[in-house]
Chains A and B, each alone.
Chain A
Amino acid sequence: MSIAITTQFICFIVLSLIVLIGAVGVVLLESIVYSAFLLGGVFMSVAGLYLLLNASFVAAAQVLVYVGAVNVLIIFAIMLVNKKEDLKPINDIKSRRIISTSICLTLLSLLIRVDLTNVWSLSNPQNSIREESTIRIGEHLFSDYLLPFEVASVLLLMAMIGAIVLARRDVMSKDISTGLPVDQELIEKSPEPLLTNKN
């Protein structure tokens, strides 16, 4: 084995371990903030795996979109609403855990079966496209994958409009939560008068 292949192998083992342990940590950790930060680590390691597969553009896009945007927004949301409150204990927690574990294990065995039975056609690593991959991705996005690409953008637009409608009460005449008419003059005004029993 040459040095390059050994290095690649070690990198692959380390990255896979980080992905697996990190993903388990995201699910099992009690603190939601730790889970969110670990999720970022998992996304980073997946980007590392893409790098090992010579897909440098996909790796950079993974970092930009998942770590730089999705994960930051998740952490942002957690920090804005992170109230310390004791959650109510769920009475049948044990049976719920057993059901979810069994569903996950079934899904895992299904995936492993697909992995083992399917014949993966691996291209020769010598004639892989390497740095050209950016150009190839662009060609595909503007030819045979144009429709899915555009539909995805429409989906994002819909999500954005939905978020704006939920966040801004002045675009609707009635408050969603209370059903009272909205004061169009002042968006920031509280639905209930704040200083009623001031004396």
Chain B
Amino acid sequence: MEYGLDLEYSFNEFLKGFGLSSEIAHIIWLPLPMLLVLVAAVVGVLVTVWLERKISAAAQQRIGPEYAGALGVLQPIADGLKLLVKEDIIPAKADGILFTAGPILVLVPVILSWLVVPFGQNLLISNVGIGIFLWIALSSIQPIGLLMSGYASNNKYSLLGGLRAAAQSISYEIPLALSVLAIVLMTNSLSTIDIVNQQSSAGILSWNIWRQPVGFIVFWICALAECERLPFDLPEAEEELVAGYQTEYAGMKFALFYLGSYINLILSALLVSILYLGGWGFPIPVELIANLLKLPINSPLIQVFTASIGIVMTVLKAYLLVFIAILLRWTTPRVRIDQLLDLGWKFLLPISLANLLITAGLKLAFPQFFGG
């Protein structure tokens, strides 16, 4: 699959034109995609916060933010600035070091996971071989940060919130990993690029959602639970725990939790679109359109067009899922802790195990449809 724009190669060639060695060119290249993805993630959070405010307002028949910019689009920036200039408080009896390290440990793994999110054939930071497994491994670090901030706050609500967060995260990680495993079984690879390419043969018909409908639903429920979104926001249940592990936090440290949860939501939506909805693939294969229009697939114009379509499709699918998540948050009630654990261990775990077994069986029976 040696087609598609390779920006890294062209950039390095461009720098070599100035007489730089390939190593220096590589070092100059390295921070660029990282910065770009970081900016994309933060802008994505701003958009999601605005969407959340507007959609929740619509769900409750309010107007929502209106005065900051047209339709209140500047409201999330105002929110961010407010958090930025607020006083940074560490409670007197809290544990200062752990209190500061907690939010960082929550945010960093989430941002690191963006390493494997592809927006096109060559449009990702690094096509590491373990791909999707890296995300599963990194997301398991988060509960330590939550436990840490819950403990360090020296507050019973915080501690309970942290413990709940860890319990929830551990229970839902297993069905999540099992449903990813079914996809990996069909792809024969852990790499996110391979997972998308495997779904690109026949446009919308070859997306994994048709072959893994159960896996799709299990993955989506587990992703929502991992993001601590309603109906699974028990760790910060306002009515019982004030705000869970966030209770004692203010200013920028609170902003880190806030950023972390929204970046995690967008990341989960992106991963659902990559694993089940064909990633950057257009519902009709681009090659088919190019052939119909009698255009060569490797011409620069078509390449640029394909790449932009890819980014637009990935973001569009992800935001469609974010929209569903927001609607769910403002329309469903919260589950109880025992219901949550029952759902995770007694329902999702057996179902995802069965799904894995059936996928393996179908792969043996119909290798042409389920990746031989």
Chain A residues within 8 Å of B, Cβ to Cβ: 2-4, 33, 37, 40, 44, 56-57, 60-61, 63-64, 67-69, 71-73, 75-76, 79-80, 130-131, 134
User: C-beta contact mask, B154-167 vs A, less than 8 Å → 1, else 0?
Assistant: 00000100110011
Cα(A73)–Cα(B173), bound, Å? 14
In the complex, the 5 A-B pairs of residues with the closest C-beta atoms, listed nearest first: A68-B140, A131-B129, A60-B137, A63-B137, A64-B137
Say whether B1 faces chain A, with CB atoms less than 8 Å apart: no
Contact (A67, B144) CB under 8 Å given A37-B98, A72-B166: yes
**Residue ranges of B at the interface with A (Cβ–Cβ < 8 Å):** 23, 27, 98, 128-130, 133-134, 136-138, 140-141, 143-144, 147-148, 151, 159, 162-163, 166-167, 170, 173, 190
Interchain CA distance A33-B130 in the complex, whole Å: 32
Also in contact, A79 and B129, with CB within 8 A (given A63-B137, A72-B144, A72-B170): no
Closest A residue to B102 by beta carbon equals A37
A residues less than 8 Å from B166 (CB atoms): 72, 75-76
Look across to chain B and name the residue whose beta carbon is closest to the beta carbon of A7.
B27
Question: How distant is the Cα of A17 from the Cα of B128 in the complex, in angstroms?
Answer: 26
How many whole Å from B196's CB to the nearest CB in chain A? 18
In the assembled complex, 17 residue pairs joining A and B whose CB atoms fall closer than 8 Å, in A order, are: A3-B23, A40-B144, A57-B130, A60-B130, A60-B133, A61-B137, A63-B137, A63-B141, A64-B136, A67-B144, A68-B141, A72-B140, A72-B147, A75-B144, A79-B147, A79-B151, A134-B130
- Establish whether residues A56 and B148, one from each chain, have CB atoms under 8 Å apart when the complex forms: no
Closest to B23 in A: A3
Check if A68 sits within 8 Å of B173, measured CB to CB.
Answer: yes
Closest to A37 in B: B148
CA distance A117 to B151 in the complex (A): 47
A76 touching B130 in the complex, CB below 8 Å, given contacts A3-B23, A61-B137, A64-B136: no
Tell me the complex Cα distance, A22–B350, Å.
Answer: 39
Interface of B is mostly: helix
User: In the complex, what's the smallest C-beta–C-beta distance from B31 to chain A, in angstroms?
Assistant: 14
Contacting residues, chain A, for B129 (C-beta < 8 A): 56-57, 130-131, 134
Residues of chain A lying within 8 A (CB to CB) of residue B27: 3
Known: A3-B23, A60-B134, A64-B136. A76 touches B141 (CB 8 A): no
Taking the nearest CB of chain A, how far is it from the CB of B340, in angstroms? 16
Chain A residues whose CB sits within 8 angstroms of the CB of B141 once the complex forms: 44, 63, 67-68
Q: How far in angstroms is the closest Cβ of chain B from A61?
A: 7
B244 to chain A, nearest CB (A): 14
Which residues of chain B come closer than 8 Å to A76, judged between CB atoms? 147, 163, 166-167
| Set of chain A residues within 8 Å of B147, measured between Cβ atoms | 72, 75-76, 79
CA distance A61 to B98 in the complex (A): 26
> Do A68 and B163 have beta carbons less than 8 Å apart?
no
Expressed in whole angstroms, the minimum distance between the Cβ of A156 and any Cβ of chain B is 14
- Residues of chain B within 8 A (CB-CB) of A60 are 130, 133-134, 136-137
Q: Which of B140, B148, B159 is A64 in contact with, Cβ under 8 Å? A: B140
- Smallest beta-carbon distance A24→chain B, Å: 18
Q: How far apart sit A61 and B137, CA to CA, in the bound complex (Å)?
A: 7
Determine the chain A residues whose CB is within 8 A of the CB of B190 once the complex forms.
134
Partner of B144, one of A4, A64, A71, A130: A71
